[in-house]
Structure 1
Amino acid sequence: MTIDTPTQTVLYTLEQAIKTYRRLCQQNIDRVVDKLTVDQALILIVLDKHPALSQQQIAELVFKDKASLTRIIELLVQKGLLTRGMHSADRRKFELHLTPQGQHTLAQLTDTILLNQRTALAGLSEEELVQFHSTLQKIIANCSTPAPCA
């Protein structure tokens, strides 16, 4: 296959798929919850499943730098979806907890999250999904290992 431009690579197509999926997610979130971004919803989901995670761990899970995560958390606190308090053992850290409103918001999004996943993966067999996941893991491993100098 001859590649004339970067937009003809499989990695460009992968990025296009991710961005298209995020747009779909945002459109569907907007139908259910007012003024909540995909990133904000993702952080609520992570905290609901793993309430003891530090902000650093959350940032790594959602691919955000520390400053971006801090801004998102502040917005979630302002919206009344999260509380932020001092960590009981380490005053340099914060403890984050979903509020009842945050839990209600997540409950509203459950069907939307499943719809987004079903829509994105429609027409793919279980075998194709397993192979796709395996291929993505190989790409991640390749990119995680420094390339030798030419």
Structure 2
Amino acid sequence: MKLVLPSKTIFHAIESTIKEYRKFAQKNISEAIEDMTIDQGLVLIFLDEYPDMTQKEIAELVFKDNASMTRMINTMVKKKYLKRSMHTEDRRRFNIEITPKGKEVLKILPPIIQNNRNSSLQGISKNEQKQLETILKKIRANCTNN
């Protein structure tokens, strides 16, 4: 059996689409907030919505390993987007809080993100979006269950 070239598979299409979207979204975010990455913006958004979330929980939501998440949070603390303090009950944990500078970024991000989503989904009906989401969930379930 001859193997189909990786570049001819649906997985290549999915990955290249994600990479193009991230480049597109990063460009638009960088135009408004010079030193902010997509992932740093996501961290702020999740922490704003769930202030008690642990570093590990945030890492899972933004698809980062623990070491990468630690580096990102360290960077965000240096940039003064986040403040870190010792957890009062568990010395192995830290409290992570959004600073006033981080709160300012949270006012700027939503319209940029919404514009990114609208632009990238232009010409794709709600029904097509739902179908794609259903298919992707099936692929993920197949990978998880096997």
Fold in common (TM above 0.5)? yes
Q: Give 1:4 deviation, angstroms.
A: 3.8
Q: Give 1:108 deviation, angstroms.
A: 1.2
Q: Give 1:45 deviation, angstroms.
A: 1.1
Q: Give 1:88 deviation, angstroms.
A: 2.0
* Matching residue of 2:119: 119
* Matching residue of 2:109: 109
Q: Give 1:3 deviation, angstroms.
A: 6.7
Secondary structure of the residue that 1:118 maps to in structure 2?
helix
Separation of aligned partners in 2, 1:3 and 1:120: 32
Q: Identify unmatched segments of 5+ residues in structure 2.
A: none
Secondary structure of the residue that 2:53 maps to in structure 1?
coil
* Matching residue of 1:141: 141
Secondary structure of the residue that 2:64 maps to in structure 1?
coil
Separation of aligned partners in 2, 1:110 and 1:61: 18
Separation of aligned partners in 2, 1:90 and 1:138: 39
Within a 5 Å distance, the mapping from 1:1-150 to structure 2 comes to 4-146=4-146
Q: Identify unmatched segments of 5+ residues in structure 1.
A: none
What is the CA deviation profile of residues 94-129 of structure 1, one whole-angstrom value per residue up to 9, with x for unaligned ones?
A: 111100110101211111010111011111111111
- The percent identity for this pair of structures is 42
Q: How many residues align?
A: 145
Structure 2 length-normalised TM? 0.95
Secondary structure of the residue that 1:88 maps to in structure 2?
coil
- Give the 3 Å change call, closer, same or farther, for CA 38–112 of structure 1 in structure 2: same
Secondary structure of the residue that 2:76 maps to in structure 1?
helix
Separation of aligned partners in 2, 1:109 and 1:53: 20
Separation of aligned partners in 1, 2:4 and 2:82: 48
Q: Is the 8 A contact 1:81 1:102 kept in 2?
A: yes
Separation of aligned partners in 2, 1:137 and 1:44: 26
Separation of aligned partners in 1, 2:62 and 2:109: 18
